[in-house]
Amino acid sequence: MSSPAGSNPAAPWRSLFIEHIEAMKSPEFTLSTIRKVPSSSPQAKQLGAIQTGDGFAHIPRARTCIFRGMWAGLNANPKNDAPLNPELYDSELLTFTTDVRMDKMPELWGAAAAADEMVPGTDGGSKLDGTGGGGPVEAVFWAEDAMVQWRVRGRAYVLGPDVDQETSKPTRELLRDRMRKRDSQHASGQEAEWSWTREVTAHFGNLSPGMRGTFRNPPPGRPVNLPVGDGLGLGQKVADLGDEIARRNFRVVVIVPEEVDRCDLSDPARGRRWLYRFVGADGKPESPGGHVEDGWEKVETWP
């Protein structure tokens, strides 16, 4: 890394969130996004599209994803033979993996993708192939054992093969500001050994060969009666961490949380709910009854 990570302390909600996620049979969550399309497009006629009067329609989207840990704090499984970064950093930045060919990619890029798509003669697809984003998202977890619903609201950033290039610097710096050094004997003097590309590869290595093989599937959403490219097909297993096709399609998505909503329904007679809002080290509380703890405003509300 060319500059140090931020000095933000651990968020007050982090340890309990991790505890609840680790107790889940599968760390699944629902990812909600917003699709912006021209009002004249067929998609804008769909049920649920919201016309805003500016020539565009906004369409809600949701799908189930798998939580892959906090960015820079990957819990590598024993079979992951990818080179790993030194354990220098940690964060509250949620991660999941996806295929760059998925329909949700423009939604993860948000306004940047919409603007690029609407300018005649520009190649929006090439931009979406790289690192960037900033689209608004909400990730909803239901921790069944604890009877707690977690809703994490923020913005999503996609990390691609170009993550260490100069064009990706704004995204790296934005994420770096929300990372922090671990309090350990290994967390000094090794910054130069920590690589963004290596961290993305470690996420790829943490997947099973069968899951890695899904990145060699035919293009998601493509009609089955149309031809697909060479090397693509269902049911493949990928052992090579540098597989050209799979790595070209593989992406790590990082959610930068701005607000966290924790609703505890473990007591049927006394449900409780807390809202956390990121305000930074010098932030002040804005909600009645709120107080700032480690850079987050916390306020209890009725569930």
Q: What is the reported pLDDT for 122?
A: 35
pLDDT confidence band for 191 (50 / 70 / 90): confident
What's the pLDDT score for residue 45?
75
Domain 13-222+232-301 has CATH 2.170.150.20: no
Mean of pLDDT over the chain: 91
State the SS3 of the chain: CCCCCCCCCCCCCHHHHHHHHHCCCCCEEEEEEEEEEECCCHHHHCCCCEECCCCEEEEEEEEEEECCCECCCCCCCCCCCCCCCCCCEEECCEEEEEECCCCCHHHHHCHHHHHHHHCCCCCHHHHHCCCEEEEEEEEEEEECCCCEEEEEEEEEEEECCCCCCHHHHHHHHHHHCCEEECCCCCCCCCHHHCCHHHHHHHHHHCCCHHHHHHHHCCCCCCCCCCCCCCCCCCCCCCCCCCCHHHHHHEEEEEEEEEEEEEEECCCCCCCEEEEEEECCCCCCCCCCCCEEECCEEEEEECC
**Who has greater pLDDT, 64 or 56?**
64
pLDDT grade for 111, boundaries at 50, 70 and 90: confident
Mean pLDDT across 178-188: 76
Looking at residue 187, what is its pLDDT? Answer: 55
Average of per-residue pLDDT across 22-45: 90
Averaged pLDDT, 103-110: 94
Confidence of residue 36 (pLDDT cuts 50, 70, 90): confident
Give residue 190's pLDDT: 74
pLDDT at site 185: 57
> Which tens digit of pLDDT belongs to each residue from 143-177?
999 999 999 999 999 999 999 999 999 999 999 99
Q: Average pLDDT of 103-119?
A: 73
pLDDT tens across 233-253, in order?
Answer: 999 999 999 999 999 999 999
Instruction: Give residue 118's pLDDT.
Output: 39
What's the whole-number mean pLDDT along residues 72-79? 95
Per-residue pLDDT at 100 exceeds 70: yes
The string of pLDDT tens digits covering residues 213-228 is: 999 999 999 999 999 9
Q: What is the mean pLDDT of residues 126-130?
A: 83
- The percent of residues in the chain predicted with pLDDT above 70, rounded, is 90
Q: Is the pLDDT of residue 34 over 50?
A: yes
- Lowest average pLDDT, out of 20-34, 96-110, 187-201, 230-244, goes to 187-201
What are the structural domain ranges in the chain?
13-222+232-301
pLDDT in tens, 262-296: 999 999 999 999 999 999 989 999 999 999 999 99
Look at residue 6 in the predicted model and tell me its pLDDT.
60
